[in-house]
Amino acid sequence: MIDTSTRILVKFAASMPRQVGAVAIFVSSENRAPGGGVLGDAERSAANRLIEAGLFQGKSREVAIGIADGEDGGESATRVMLAGLGEAKDVSADRYRQAAAALIRTARRLKITRITMVIAADPRVMPAEIGAALATGALLAGFQFDRFKGTGTSGDEEPSRDEIAVTLVGESATARPVRSAVDRAIIVADSQNYARTLACRPGNDINPPTLANEAKKLAKATGLAVRVLDEKELAKLKMGGILAVGAGSNAPPRLIVLEHRPAKARASSHPLLVVGKSITFDTGGISIKPAEKMGRMIYDKSGGMAVLGLMAAVARLKLPVHVVGILSSAENHVSADAYRPGDIIRMYNGVTVEVTNTDAEGRLVLGDALAWGIETYKPTAVIDLATLTGGVIVALGREMAGAMTNSDELMTQVQRAADRAGEKIWRLPLGDEQREQIKSDHADIVNSAGREAHPLQGGAFLSYFVPRDNSVPWAHLDIAGPADTEKETPLYAKGGTGWGVRTLVEWAAAQAE
């Protein structure tokens, strides 16, 4: 259906399959291998031998391998993989998620192509939560972006791909809720990997028009409604922000709208609105970035890719909630037509902006999209996601997004969704002080007022494009830190992470309930 760059096949079973491959058991640092249930005596004994011999400590993400049915390696021998959960008091769904990811990485390194993961009773985490976490961890760790890998031949052949089949086995008594949770987790993780696949595609492959084509493909595959506003329509609507940012590129900007409106949700005409910054490549414009690591600016579209992942998930899950996703897409380039520091532009809602830094472009494309989206769809709540500022990385690091909002209630909803998803956010202040900081001498506001409190400036800027009376709950997520990674993390390989998809799905699902 859609390219997820995933080489993992996950399914659930209520009993041990005939061909188990390697049997994976999850153990905390205080526990022996679990008794009873679906685990056989030979596998349990092999696991306990590893523990008693001191070859496995149960540390978080630790993996050890032994042999069941004797240690002669004969045809009847079965590999037993132990995966650590850390100290018992710290065991959570996220620990299971990371343990599954560690297992997949180990399996790939050892060329193990089939793993049976045992969902054992755990007083700290419900079986359905364990199943969902294992499916998510396996699928996220199984992501391999090899779309552009050469083969050393004609270039027409597919590179070899190592697929791993994962079977999650649970007690028959809890099979129904676990199966349901696993099926849901597979859809969400696939949608996140779809977002990662698009985020990783380079600027010569994805630009605003080709991104619009990808959105159309998604809409056709999932039944979403789609609308694309080209540069002529954007000019008619007087969207000065997105037009200014896109003026320097020969690939014109696009505003891409996807809509999920199931029959059960038609009683309400007011959707949830999610808006994503989708800068397909960011040179910084005339305020050009340093050459070092500029190639990583392909990930400046990650906010929009999270929106695509959300829309893929809500459509496939058939959530009974009306959701509109908007991708505000431009390429920030340098040319004779590029916008300049000192320019004054008029945004869709009439707010005028003095450009002080062409590398603060994300807030310009988002401002137009927010104002137009709120006016057009009259949403019940709005979330935007953007790789907006390097300052948020300085403040919060690479694993956490900064959140700013005009609504305590919406912040509570988003925080709960992020906690369930295992994604980290931290609330940052948003007030009159920040709005005052970005006042302009010659226009209403500037797009950048220097380095001080730069993440807060971004939120303050965007607040000019949502109703000032706070009648529309709105949250801004600055995902510059977790949107991509330059090193392997417990869940992710180098590259785009698809951060935000799981949180957005949890939020939308909660509103449906």
Confidence of residue 33 (pLDDT cuts 50, 70, 90): confident
Catalogue the long-range contacts made by 286-291 (C-beta closer than 8 Å, 24 or more residues apart).
Answer: 286/334, 286/338, 286/339, 286/340, 286/341, 286/358, 287/341, 287/357, 287/358, 287/359, 288/334, 288/359, 289/359
pLDDT tier for residue 72 given thresholds of 50, 70 and 90? very low
Phi, psi of 113 (to 5 degrees): -105, -5
Tell me which of 97, 254, 363, 420 is the catalytic residue.
363
At residue 21, the pLDDT reads 87
Q: Is the pLDDT of residue 29 over 90?
A: yes
How much is the CA Rg of the chain, to the nearest whole Å?
24
- Residue 79 confidence (pLDDT) above 50: yes
Residue 361 contacts by C-beta under 8 Å, 6 or more apart in sequence? 245, 279, 282, 285, 330, 332, 447
Nearest to 477 by CA among 455, 495, 508, 496: 455
Mean pLDDT of the chain: 93
Question: For residue 287, which of 245, 329, 330 has the smallest C-alpha distance?
Answer: 245
Q: State pLDDT tens for residues 353-408.
A: 999 999 999 999 999 999 999 999 999 999 999 999 999 999 999 999 999 999 99
Q: What is the pLDDT, as a whole number, of residue 73? A: 44
Q: What's the token pair of residue 190?
A: 């696939």
Known catalytic residue at 301: no
**Look-up of token digits 């061909």:** 19
Name the DSSP class of 90: G
**What's the predicted TM-score (pTM) here?**
0.95
What distance in Å separates the CA atoms of residue 356 and residue 338, rounded to the nearest whole number?
14
Output DSSP code: residue 196.
H
Beta-carbon count within 10 A of 15 CB: 11
Asked if 227 and 377 count as a contact pair (C-beta separation under 8 A), the reply is no
Is residue 266 annotated as a catalytic residue, yes or no?
no
What's the confidence (pLDDT) of residue 159? 46
What pLDDT does 74 receive? 45
Give start and end residues of each alpha helix (H) in 223-301.
Answer: 231-236, 240-246
pLDDT tens across 201-260, in order?
Answer: 999 999 999 999 999 999 999 999 999 999 999 999 999 999 999 999 999 999 999 999
Residue 9: which pLDDT band, with cuts at 50, 70 and 90?
very high
User: Which 8-state DSSP code applies to residue 298?
Assistant: G
Segment 279-286 mean pLDDT? 97
pLDDT digits (tens, 9 = 90+) for 287-313: 999 999 899 999 999 999 999 999 999
Catalytic residue among 289, 346, 398, 416: 289
Lowest mean pLDDT among 28-32, 140-144, 155-159, 390-394: 155-159
Hey, what are 469's tokens? 């009376």
Q: What are phi and psi of 111, to 5 degrees?
A: 65, 35
1 pLDDT more than 80 = no
Span 108-130, average pLDDT: 94
Rounded CA gap, 486 and 292, in Å? Answer: 13
Which segments of 19-85 does DSSP mark as H helices, in order?
Answer: 41-52
Q: Is the pLDDT of residue 99 over 60?
A: yes
